[in-house]
Chains A and B, each alone.
Chain A
Amino acid sequence: MNITEHLAGLRAEAPAHLLPRIMAATGLADRYVVRDSVLGRVFVAFNDRGVSAVDLAPSPQEFEERFTERHGRPAVPAEEVPAPIEAHLDRAIAEGKPGKLTLDLAGVTPFQEAVLRKTAEIPAGEIRPYGWIATEIGRPGATRAVGTALARNPVPLVVPCHRVVRSDGRLGDYSLGDRSNKGRLLEAEGLDTGRLARDAARGVRFVGSDTTHIFCHPTCRDARRITTRHRVEFRSTAAAAEAGYRPCRRCRPAAAA
């Protein structure tokens, strides 16, 4: 062999992680990591704007396919997580609220974003009806659209759409994997979903205290402190108002549209 043939032998293959890195650097791909949650391992994608997706998938390939289908760009495995995301991600997943975690909601409409931001305010262990979200964001009557917006929540768990349920007390649909996951998440937050379902079936929508004459959503932190002896049940805000009760300022029960 002469020297030029030896030199040709100095060709090397680019390491496999280079392509994903380049795609992420150009912004043509998001990056993702796998994290633990109540529902098992979840895929979390992010880019320079923040967390762009939280999803359950049987395999990285399936996650990548679903991500590309939905967001129109690839997601590639991340070698490292940027400090601002790393610092807040596990807590956001564990507590079911974004907290200081920044989210990339660039792909959603202003209405969807308003729905998601309002949903993020619901404390762990509490639930609100779809109609409550609609009223709170100034779009009473848009209950169905709220449901649609939450079904497309790109960042479930972190934006806790599992805490938004039907006004008849049934849990309703859930976007992250099987719909039973909604109940699993609420149970993990300490909710007795069986009891909620039985109360709802009896027509209980709100509960009040006969000492304070304030009424709440049944899972409101203040409602859960009412002792059985003083607990009063209502089928509607109108019934509560007629009985001389005022709405709780914390959970702001609103008339169903």
Chain B
Amino acid sequence: MNEPIDIDRLPAALARDLDGAFPHLVRALQDAVFSGALRMTGSRADAEDVTQEAFLRAYRALGDYPAARIRNLRLRGWIWTIAANLCRNRARTLARRRETLVSEPTVAVDPEAGPEQRALDLIGLEDLAARVARLPWAQRSSVVLRHVVGLGYGEIAEALGRPLGTVKNDVHRGLDRLRTLVTQEAP
């Protein structure tokens, strides 16, 4: 597990030698999975559990797949076909809770900025995260996979098992809702 294997070469490496290449898969994707799980569940402990469980299930699934199927996997999206469901099961009643602002703003406020910009600049990362965690699940999962994890719409549709148009719509509406939440509750 010395030299990292590039993510594009991982499917072939996994198909050839699952046990040898699997640690590289974890290294390549663990930050993305953890970040997404953290923002979907709103809890570090849940995010750790989800990340561990997702990779464990991924390892077992890969062990059952024929080599040809592994070679054709788009890993960044595929891991979320497993992880998103785990997050959903743990994303309990966060939407109902109303957090008070706890974190410090991370950027300087531009005096020329409009109200949305100003509100966003005033809000700290953790408070933004708390608002993300209050989005309805469909919007939250889509927004997080698109803008925190950085997946394409096609990958998100596959991961969440929802039509492409629905996913795009969920991201759009989720962002709108976030802007509203942030602006309304700005200090």
Binding site for B on A (CB under 8 A): 1-4, 6-15, 18-19, 21-23, 25-26, 28, 73-74
* 4 A-B pairs with the lowest CB-CB distances in the bound complex, closest first: A14-B34, A7-B147, A14-B30, A11-B35
* Contact call A19/B23, Cβ cutoff below 8 A: yes
* Contact call A23/B23, Cβ cutoff below 8 A: yes
Q: A3-B175, A8-B148, A12-B35 are in contact. Are A22 and B128 (CB under 8 A)?
A: no
Q: A9 contacts which chain B residues (CB < 8 A)?
A: 106, 125, 128
* Contact call A6/B56, Cβ cutoff below 8 A: no
Q: B117 contacts which chain A residues (CB < 8 A)?
A: 1-2
Interface segment among B6-14, B47-55, B80-88, B151-159: the answer is B47-55
* Contact call B34/A12, Cβ cutoff below 8 A: yes
Q: A19 contacts which chain B residues (CB < 8 A)?
A: 23, 26-27, 30
Contact of B22 among A8, A13, A28 (CB under 8 A): A28
Interchain CA distance A224-B37 in the complex, whole Å: 66
Binding site for A on B (CB under 8 A): 1, 19, 22-23, 26-27, 30-35, 38-39, 48, 51-52, 55-56, 59, 106-107, 116-117, 120-121, 123, 125, 128-129, 132, 143, 147-150, 175, 178-179, 182
Least CB distance from B105 to A in Å reads 11
Q: A13-B34, A26-B56 are in contact. Are A18 and B51 (CB under 8 A)?
A: yes
Least CB distance from B38 to A in Å reads 6
Q: B182 contacts which chain A residues (CB < 8 A)?
A: 3
Least CB distance from B114 to A in Å reads 11
Closest to A15 in B: B48
* Contact call B128/A6, Cβ cutoff below 8 A: yes
* Contact call B55/A22, Cβ cutoff below 8 A: yes
Q: A73 contacts which chain B residues (CB < 8 A)?
A: 19
Q: B56 contacts which chain A residues (CB < 8 A)?
A: 22, 25-26
Interchain CA distance A13-B30 in the complex, whole Å: 8
Closest to B178 in A: A3
Least CB distance from B111 to A in Å reads 15
Q: A2 contacts which chain B residues (CB < 8 A)?
A: 117, 120
* Contact call B19/A28, Cβ cutoff below 8 A: yes
* Contact call A12/B38, Cβ cutoff below 8 A: yes
Known pairs A1-B121, A10-B39 / 18 extra A-B pairs, C-beta < 8 Å: A1-B120, A8-B147, A9-B125, A10-B35, A10-B148, A11-B149, A12-B34, A12-B35, A14-B30, A15-B34, A15-B48, A18-B26, A19-B26, A22-B26, A22-B30, A23-B26, A26-B56, A26-B59
Least CB distance from A76 to B in Å reads 10
Q: A1 contacts which chain B residues (CB < 8 A)?
A: 107, 117, 120-121
Q: A15 contacts which chain B residues (CB < 8 A)?
A: 34, 48
Interchain CA distance A12-B32 in the complex, whole Å: 8
Q: A4-B175, A9-B125, A11-B148 are in contact. Are A25 and B31 (CB under 8 A)?
A: no
Q: B147 contacts which chain A residues (CB < 8 A)?
A: 4, 7-8
Q: A22 contacts which chain B residues (CB < 8 A)?
A: 26, 30, 51-52, 55-56
Interchain CA distance A12-B149 in the complex, whole Å: 10
Interchain CA distance A21-B125 in the complex, whole Å: 28
Contact of B30 among A8, A11, A18, A74 (CB under 8 A): A18
Least CB distance from B88 to A in Å reads 18
